[in-house]
Amino acid sequence: MPCQSSDELNILVKEAREYTKEGKVANYIPALGRANPHDLSIAIQYPDGQCISAGDIERKISLQSISKVISLALVLMDRGSNYVFERVGMEPTGDPFNSIAKLETLSPAKPLNPMINAGALVVTHMIKGNSIEDRFQRLLSFIREMANDSTIDYCEDVAQSEFKTAYLNRALCYFLKQHHIIEEDVEKLIDLYTKQCAIEMNCLELARIGMIFAMDGVDLESGKQIIPVHISRICKTFMVTCGMYNASGEFAIKIGIPAKSGVSGGIMGAVPGKFGIGIFGPALDEKGNSVAGIKLLELLSRNYKLSMF
């Protein structure tokens, strides 16, 4: 029986909030360093429109790496899977999300998967459109449609803050450009990528996007198939194998829910056929995942038997 009431969620949030003390907010993107480490909120969105939540749910978070699974869906729709997987692989890395190491040891030098920064930069490079602005607007419209909110936008402060400091991501791009996997101007690509990562929303909207993935790409409220079934399946599989970076194996064993995290402290979950989850808890563990957010998912998964395995 899935969790039915906000009261039940409140109890779990109270227990998990204790763990915020064990983490630190990301500060390598200066604007993210201003988050309150003790925040923790969750929303669960059911396909029939019912939504339950707990914590400070109006607070907005930037998607950061959560955007990687959404841009992947768009690019698979734009280009088809053959084109995409010629340029980015399907295997987990076991390395941190921003690592450059495997690019040099593998031949061809294509990134191992779309959930690490190197792979996500290649995915963003593949978003179709006539200009950076056009490509960004296409991604934004797609996100607005899934979240059912036409006011969603990016946070200029967060985007600027990352743009000014994204030296490692620039290094990844130049490496990939040398190997002809990225063919465009690096500054333009970093501009698009940092805007993508800075798209912000609250955890209710994040849960709604998770629900679209959970329901095989269908928005039951509008009856629309927003993402084709086979693409939604690819995205969920990447969420299981690579969604929590180099903690994905342990997460699959302990929690067993397709999920994608970001360094803002967000986690989007998609419980197949059941509901979407949006979590915000900016205190991170050493691998860059929300420490209390993971605890909260662990409690939820255990109490309501949500593991898909």
Binding residues for ligand GLN (CB under 6 A): 64-65, 97-98, 117, 162, 169, 197, 262-263, 288
CB of 130 to ligand GLN, least distance (A): 25
* Paired tokens of 108: 């061809």
Minimum CB separation of residue 3 from ligand GLN in Å reads 27
Six-digit token pair at 69?
């699974």
Between 213 and 245, name the residue whose CB sits nearer to ligand GLN.
245
Q: Please list the active-site residues.
A: 65, 68, 193, 245, 263
DSSP calls for 156-192: HHHHHHHHHH-HHHHHHHHHHHHTTS--S-HHHHHHH
Nearest CA to 216 among 195, 237, 232, 198? Answer: 232
- In the bound state with ligand GLN, the residue whose beta carbon lies nearer, of 171 and 299, is 171
Taking the C-alpha atoms of residue 306 and residue 209, their distance in angstroms, rounded to an integer, is: 18
* Angle made by CA atoms 164, 78, 106, in degrees to the nearest 5: 65
Angle of helix 186-197 versus helix 67-79 axis, rounded to 10: 120
CA end-to-end span of the chain, whole Å? 17
Residue whose CB is less far from ligand GLN, 119 or 288: 288
Element (H, E) at 2: none
Q: Is the peptide bond before 108 cis (omega within 30 degrees of 0)?
A: yes
Tell the smallest beta-carbon distance from residue 68 to ligand GLN (Å). Answer: 8
Q: How far is the CB of 178 from ligand GLN (least distance, A)?
A: 20
Q: Residue 194 Cβ, how far from ligand GLN at the closest point, in Å?
A: 7
Q: Which CB atom, from 43 or from 173, has the smaller least distance to ligand GLN?
A: 173
Give CA–CA dist 122/108, Å, rounded: 14
Which residue number is nearest to ligand GLN in terms of Cβ?
65
CB count in 10 Å sphere of residue 126: 20
Q: Which of 120, 116, 49 is nearest to 275 (CA)?
A: 49
Q: How far is the CB of 220 from ligand GLN (least distance, A)?
A: 29
Alpha carbon of residue 202 to chain centroid: 13
The residue among 64 and 93 lying less far from ligand GLN, judged by its C-beta, is 64
Nearest CA among 148, 173, 158 for reference residue 264: 158
Looking at the Cβ atoms of 123 and 197, the one nearer to ligand GLN is: 197
